[in-house]
Structure 1
Amino acid sequence: MRIPMRELLIGTLIGTPFLVGATVAQSDGPVVADPDAPSITFQDPDIIESSGLVVRGGRVVTMNDSGDTARVFAVDLATGETVGVTHWSADPEDLEALAPAGPGEVWAGDIGDNPRERSAITVTRVPVGPGDRSVDAPAYELTYPDGARDAESLLSDPVTGRLYVVSKDSMRGTVYAAPAQLQAGADNRMEALGSVLGLATDGAFFPDGKHIVVRNYTSASVYSFPDLTLRGSWVLPAQRQGEGIAVAADDSIYLSSEGAHQELLHVTVPAKVRAAMGSTTTSSSTSPSTTANPSSSPSSESGPASGPASGPASGAATSADVDQPGDPSPWPWILGGALGLAALVALFRSLRPR
């Protein structure tokens, strides 16, 4: 999303203490790109602001941030070439996210709201695949229980198909659950489940349905689901403006960034976080509802729901061995606050009339 330079600078400076504090206090070290799966580059010049991301077999589906028409791109994971584009009849306000739907389909989330003025957001179920097409896709309105929110993250449970939205707040994002069954032309009121990391730009379920990963511009965090217990956080590779994240059937992670001809990075979950995920005792992802959404059936390409693709070995580390939010040191936050204050002073001095 393109934001006026002054607003972008002020917003960045205000968020600096939180980004620095959260990254230093909860990081598990840099993630190194998987050498067995090198990154590819989006070849299509029309993909300029990759925000939402879904991995389906040998393809990745992405979309541009706000300002584009209602369309999604299917891209070959081997070459980075676009193999299909789906257009649908809509005039979106702020498209920001994608999530898996049924086989050959994705959910497109018109959920962005920087000024927090929208009384309802919209999700649309869109077919994707090879070839170009224009479709009339079913859309559903969602409303928050506590007023308008800005959001860039849309997740779908691979077991139940239920949709979840994560707000993009500076300190902590809130996870909202959509109704188990969506009704067209109705007020589909969401419910708040709990909190995750701040400034969330995207998120996704793991194939087991018992964990989610949420990212911001610099880091990612894994939570057990539905209790949203933090299992670990780590620093992501540097990107121009990292926004998209998707989880493949083997639990590996793909990352996209805004900008033309950007790399699609392929990374693995750090060993300590993987071990903590394996120690989770959460029994099912079907809470808070056990009713599958017929309008959002789980994708057969999302992988099995029986557990992670690679569980921990005997004697693996528990969640206590991974960075947790219990009682972090205050020094990262003090450092972040000092940096933010210094930057704000410099900004105000530069804006002072001469």
Structure 2
Amino acid sequence: MEKLLLLLLPVPFGIGFLTPGAASEPVPGTVVFSYTDPAIVESSGLVARDDLVVTVNDSGDSNRIFTVDPATGDTVGVTRWQGDARDIEALAPVGDGEVYVGDIGDNEAKRDEIEIARVPFGRGDQEVDAATYDLVYPDGPHDAESLLVHPRTGQVFVVAKEFIGRLYAAPEDLAEKGRNELTAVDEVLGIATDGAFFPDGEHLVLRNYGQAAVYTWPDLDRVAMVDLPPQQQGEGIAVTESGEVLIGSEGAHSEVLRVEVPIEESTEEPTDGSPAPTPSPDSGEAVPVTAAEDRSLWPWALGGVAGVAIIAVLLRSLRPRS
């Protein structure tokens, strides 16, 4: 029993960081459509472009993406490309009528490298020879489900799916041959399952299974935190060209919802005496990828300290009495 309790020791710290600060009441969600295609059973990545929605199944599927008409929920095109998928988890818009597909999942943290492929989407089925790029972390393998592309620079970012999430930046110019080394940028939302930039290039949104957080770019100041509507297994998030936010879920015939997510900082004075966030500077250039700065972890620490105290009491109660 003591060994079991010790194994649980890190859990309170993770939970404390997973919910970093108070979120607002759940935002309302409006159903846009439901997938009608029985082949879409584990919708993970989500992109909304050109009045179409693009999605991809989670691990276990082949190299293919689905283009869906949101007016009906019907699949209107499937794109396949070469190679064998290992653990596809994410999509991000890039170029005209194309997406990056992120084969970036790594539940056991054993992959030497992850891969993204540049794939066209649209109406009609097609098979393509896609450009692929290998990415490698600077600090060892990580599991990830979030892939983002800056709308102005085209720079690629990956978010590690961990209790303390971390954003990694790819080189601005990706090379098809050899490895492209990622650089750690900063800590972000824990257990992130997807993310996207807003059209202004000055804000991005990340989600986990129940919440969404909005950050300025490139400062990564968190300006909003909202609870999302309940979903079977909410994973995907997309931002349209007009700035609307869509969220998706795994499951057969799952729904895609439209939600209102604020991207502006509150104009009210903070009640805890902390200074208001500084507005983000212009974000037209690629982010300078330097060593990540330390950020406040007091919610994570508070949850951890409480958990340690509880475990200590339990351990004391298990000691044999004389």
Q: After superposition, what is the alpha-carbon deviation per residue over 1:208-231, rounded to whole angstroms, capped at 9, x for unaligned?
A: 111110110010101111121111
Instruction: Classify 1:329/1:160 alpha carbon distance in 2 versus 1 (closer, same or farther; 3 Å).
Output: closer
Task: Find out whether 1:28 has 2:24 as its counterpart.
Answer: yes
Q: How does 1:250-269 map to 2 (within 5 A)?
A: 250-269=242-261
Query: For residue 210 of structure 2, what is the aligned residue in structure 1?
Result: 218
Q: After superposition, what is the alpha-carbon deviation per residue over 1:174-220, rounded to whole angstroms, capped at 9, x for unaligned?
A: 11100111111211111111010111101100101111101100101
Query: For residue 161 of structure 1, what is the aligned residue in structure 2?
Result: 154
Q: Return the structure number with greater strand share.
A: 2
Partner amino acid, structure 1, of 2:253: H
Q: How does 1:198-237 map to 2 (within 5 A)?
A: 198-237=190-229
Aligned equivalents of 1:43, 1:148: Cα separation in 2: 36
TM-score, normalised with respect to structure 2: 0.82
Q: Which moved more, 1:203-212 or 1:19-28?
A: 19-28
1:157, 1:285 within 8 Å by CA — same for their partners in 2?
A: no
TM superposition shift of 1:57: 2.5
Instruction: Classify 1:106/1:12 alpha carbon distance in 2 versus 1 (closer, same or farther; 3 Å).
Output: farther
Aligned equivalents of 1:42, 1:33: Cα separation in 2: 17
Partner amino acid, structure 2, of 1:105: E
2:76 to 83, 106, 110: 83
Partner amino acid, structure 1, of 2:165: G
Aligned equivalents of 1:92, 1:205: Cα separation in 2: 25
Query: For residue 274 of structure 2, what is the aligned residue in structure 1?
Result: none
Q: Return the structure number with greater helix share.
A: 1
TM-score, normalised with respect to structure 1: 0.75
2:113, 2:136 within 8 Å by CA — same for their partners in 1?
A: yes
Task: Find out whether 1:244 has 2:249 as its counterpart.
Answer: no
Aligned equivalents of 1:219, 1:85: Cα separation in 2: 30
TM superposition shift of 1:250: 2.3
Partner amino acid, structure 1, of 2:22: Q
2:160, 2:192 within 8 Å by CA — same for their partners in 1?
A: yes
Query: For residue 183 of structure 2, what is the aligned residue in structure 1?
Result: 191
Q: How does 1:40-55 map to 2 (within 5 A)?
A: 40-55=33-48
TM superposition shift of 1:12: 12
2:93 to 57, 81, 100: 100
Q: How does 1:1-354 map to 2 (within 5 A)?
A: 18-19=14-15, 22-23=18-19, 25-34=21-30, 38-170=31-163, 172-270=164-262, 280-288=279-287, 337=307
Whichever of the two has the greater Rg, that structure is 2
Query: For residue 318 of structure 2, what is the aligned residue in structure 1?
Result: none
Aligned-pair identity in percent equals 47
Aligned equivalents of 2:107, 2:222: Cα separation in 1: 27
1:257, 1:264 within 8 Å by CA — same for their partners in 2?
A: yes
SS of alignment partner, residue 29 of structure 2: coil
TM superposition shift of 1:25: 3.1
Query: For residue 348 of structure 1, what is the aligned residue in structure 2?
Result: none
SS of alignment partner, residue 27 of structure 1: coil
TM superposition shift of 1:58: 1.2
Aligned length: 294
Name the Cα RMSD after superposition.
3.1
Aligned equivalents of 1:24, 1:265: Cα separation in 2: 24
TM superposition shift of 1:232: 1.5
TM superposition shift of 1:328: 5.1
Q: After superposition, what is the alpha-carbon deviation per residue over 1:19-76, rounded to whole angstroms, capped at 9, x for unaligned?
A: 5774483312211125xxx421011100000000100021110000000000000001
Aligned equivalents of 2:44, 2:11: Cα separation in 1: 20
SS of alignment partner, residue 21 of structure 2: helix
2:45, 2:56 within 8 Å by CA — same for their partners in 1?
A: yes
Instruction: Classify 1:328/1:183 alpha carbon distance in 2 versus 1 (closer, same or farther; 3 Å).
Output: closer
1:226, 1:285 within 8 Å by CA — same for their partners in 2?
A: no
- Which residues of structure 1 form unaligned runs of 5+? 1-10, 291-323, 346-354
Partner amino acid, structure 1, of 2:279: T
Partner amino acid, structure 1, of 2:281: T
